[in-house]
Structure 1
Amino acid sequence: MSVVPSSLLPASAAPAFRGRIGRDVHSGHYAVPHRYRLHIAPYDPGCLGIAVTHSLLGLDDTLPLTVLPETPDRPDGGYAALRPLYEASAHLYDGPAAAPVLSDGWTGRIVSTHVPDILRDLALRFRGEGPDLLPEELRGEIEAVTDLCERSVNRAAQRAGELGLDGEAAHRDPLTVLFAALGSLDRRLARHPYVLGTAPTAADVQVWVTLVQLDTVHRWHLDAAAMDRVAGYPALWEYARRLAARPEFAHRLDIEAVMRHHRAHCRGREAAGAAIRLVDWPGTRV
């Protein structure tokens, strides 16, 4: 397992534990029922992706999952319940004990805090009878969709919200990127029930979590005209609603926690798009 010591990271960052689950007993960490545990925070998009993957694979009886309290209970923004795992895994650790964490019950240490690695290991090492979320022939496309969501939806929406407060011309460029990405996803979903065809893959987990973020966090900083454009992708938002009706996707979704966390930590100003909600996400109070 590799870990970057906290002394080499910015003060606000937790170390990135990058252990992996191997194929067999010679790997050190290998898939054994009940050996590992996942710890997730209800407001974090990476944690939501892990929870959805966990549910799709039906891992409740194999790999227990703990949902931490909505509000971290330590002044540094970490969780007291995770503190022993961090201290056992990094010598003289003095940073926040943050989620997500994949922990090893045999050693009492952390395997990984790195969301992409955790998602890959769940899909490849703990699949069991669940769907193949990372089929070999689609891995390149899954990586491309993941990159599109992160760069051209999440980052573009955030950037557009920031620039929209400073001037129309600056606001326009990231919105162009955002609309192009949403259009690309909408065209895919107009042809197939899932992003890459007729069966769910890791790409669907990524896209759905991204749409949750767009409709619950980013809309607060986009103007009404931008949100009207965002709403204009019917196949994409019908897909979001359809998956939200499935218990595998909705079970761990806590929209109220997402919104409270956003309001508590965001320093941006609200824009007119805040009034436009595109999906009645499960558990949302009117």
Structure 2
Amino acid sequence: MSITTHPPAYASPVDHVAYGEYGPGRLHLSAGWNRPTYPFQDRITADGSSGYRAEPGRYHLYVSWACPYAHRAAIVRRLLGLEEVISLSYVDDERDGRGWAFRERRGSDPVNGFTLLEQAYDATEKGYPGHISVPVLWDREHGRIVSNHFPDITIDLVTQFEQWADPSIDLYPQPWRPEINKLNAMIYHDVNTGVTRFTHAYGEEREKGHSRVVSALQWLDERLGGRRYLVGDTLSEADVRLWVTLARYDSHYNRDGLITDWDLSGFEHLWGYARDLYRRPAFRETTEGLPAAWDAPHGRDR
């Protein structure tokens, strides 16, 4: 498939005076912090039975350095060695009421020449009124979004692109899928979104949220005391899903001791585990801003 590269085009600078903050009218901002609906949920299949056949050069990922859910997709793509199969570009880290945009800091949109990610949504559903999220999996052939449903995107990368992926990496091994699914659900509810729901809650709900997050982290820390990875004896989807929150724990979620009086290093096994994963290029090369302490010996190979 021929790939068209568009000349650089950029959105104007972030302007909260002119465009407001991102959220109102797009994102559910209730005290309960209910996640928005991700309406584009088509799937890629190796045989094309879904209408979207796995093939090199056809798909593009729009991601953000700032978003942990998009970060997962970037990590999985790199782990699987799919850089030449699925292209990827980054939106700017900051957004105003227009949502994610393409600016010089992170580069232009090489696929469509869009200046705002909203244009990809509008091309898929004219007048789309909902949340403009990343990651976005784009189909060059049909000129539309395949999926913005982040849990499905990484599973499809792992299971439907095996023909081109590194055969030594299986992030979703068949025998372990029930346990991975169970862990993924817990990690998503109690950790990935748990840290954010806690910061948006008040009163009793805030107390419950705090207890839920701390209990989950302590349970995961204990689990990792006797194993190198969360499931089985190799890296899995569950590890990727947890790591993106751990990588942001000190700098974002737990700033000023918001969740715990100690930083990530206070969780003996989670801290070593997080640094162990960081040694892998797929984690290191898709992450910015971690301090030098993350390069300290992790001791997990014991």
Over 3 Å counting, the alpha-carbon distance change for 1:157 and 1:227 in structure 2 is: farther
What does residue 271 of structure 1 align with? Answer: none
CA apart distance, 1:154? 3.8
Do 2:98 and 2:116's aligned partners in 1 also have CA atoms closer than 8 Å? no
What does residue 118 of structure 1 align with? Answer: 153
Task: Report percent identity of matched pairs.
Answer: 31
Over 3 Å counting, the alpha-carbon distance change for 1:255 and 1:91 in structure 2 is: same
**Which of 29, 40, 50 is the aligned partner of 2:73?**
50
User: Is residue 134 from structure 1 mapped to residue 172 from structure 2 by the alignment?
Assistant: yes
Do 1:102 and 1:118's aligned partners in 2 also have CA atoms closer than 8 Å? yes
C-alpha separation in 2, matches of 1:183 and 1:15:
31
Do 1:160 and 1:222's aligned partners in 2 also have CA atoms closer than 8 Å? no
C-alpha separation in 1, matches of 2:38 and 2:263:
39
**Which of 9, 17, 26 is the aligned partner of 1:12?**
26
C-alpha separation in 2, matches of 1:71 and 1:123:
30
Amino acid of the structure 1 residue aligned with 2:48: V
C-alpha separation in 2, matches of 1:145 and 1:23:
26
Q: How does 1:242-281 map to 2 (within 5 A)?
A: 242-255=276-289, 280=294
Over 3 Å counting, the alpha-carbon distance change for 1:122 and 1:238 in structure 2 is: same
**Which of 246, 250, 262 is the aligned partner of 1:228?**
262
C-alpha separation in 2, matches of 1:170 and 1:86:
34
- Paired residue total: 248
Q: Per the alignment, in what secondary structure is the counterpart of residue 107 of structure 1?
A: coil
User: Is residue 241 from structure 1 mapped to residue 261 from structure 2 by the alignment?
Assistant: no
C-alpha separation in 2, matches of 1:101 and 1:170:
32
Do 1:20 and 1:112's aligned partners in 2 also have CA atoms closer than 8 Å? yes
Q: How does 1:184-203 map to 2 (within 5 A)?
A: 184-203=219-238
Deviates more, 1:104-113 or 1:188-197: 188-197
Do 1:99 and 1:113's aligned partners in 2 also have CA atoms closer than 8 Å? yes
Q: TM-score, structure 2 length as denominator?
A: 0.72
C-alpha separation in 2, matches of 1:278 and 1:181:
27
Q: Per the alignment, in what secondary structure is the counterpart of residue 217 of structure 1?
A: helix
Over 3 Å counting, the alpha-carbon distance change for 1:230 and 1:71 in structure 2 is: closer
User: Is residue 109 from structure 1 mapped to residue 144 from structure 2 by the alignment?
Assistant: yes
C-alpha separation in 2, matches of 1:125 and 1:34:
14
Q: TM-score, structure 1 length as denominator?
A: 0.75
Q: Deviations over 1:85-134 (max 9, x none)?
A: 32221123355654221011111111011101111111111232241111
CA apart distance, 1:180? 2.3
CA apart distance, 1:18? 0.9
What does residue 63 of structure 1 align with? Answer: 86
Amino acid of the structure 1 residue aligned with 2:247: V
Structure 1: gaps spanning 5 or more residues = 1-9, 257-276
Q: Per the alignment, in what secondary structure is the counterpart of residue 44 of structure 2?
A: coil
CA apart distance, 1:232? 3.3
Q: Deviations over 1:197-246 (max 9, x none)?
A: 3210101101111212322221126348x232864321111011121122
Structure 2: gaps spanning 5 or more residues = 1-23, 28-36, 102-114, 297-302
Q: Per the alignment, in what secondary structure is the counterpart of residue 60 of structure 2?
A: strand
**Which of 183, 188, 191 is the aligned partner of 1:145?**
183
Amino acid of the structure 2 residue aligned with 1:70: D
Amino acid of the structure 2 residue aligned with 1:102: L
C-alpha separation in 2, matches of 1:109 and 1:12:
20
Q: How does 1:17-32 map to 2 (within 5 A)?
A: 17-32=40-55
Amino acid of the structure 1 residue aligned with 2:166: E
Q: Which structure has the highest helix share of the two? A: 1
Deviates more, 1:154-163 or 1:86-95: 154-163
Q: Per the alignment, in what secondary structure is the counterpart of residue 254 of structure 2?
A: helix
Amino acid of the structure 1 residue aligned with 2:189: R
What does residue 263 of structure 1 align with? Answer: none
Aligned CA-pair RMSD = 3.0
C-alpha separation in 1, matches of 2:185 and 2:68:
15
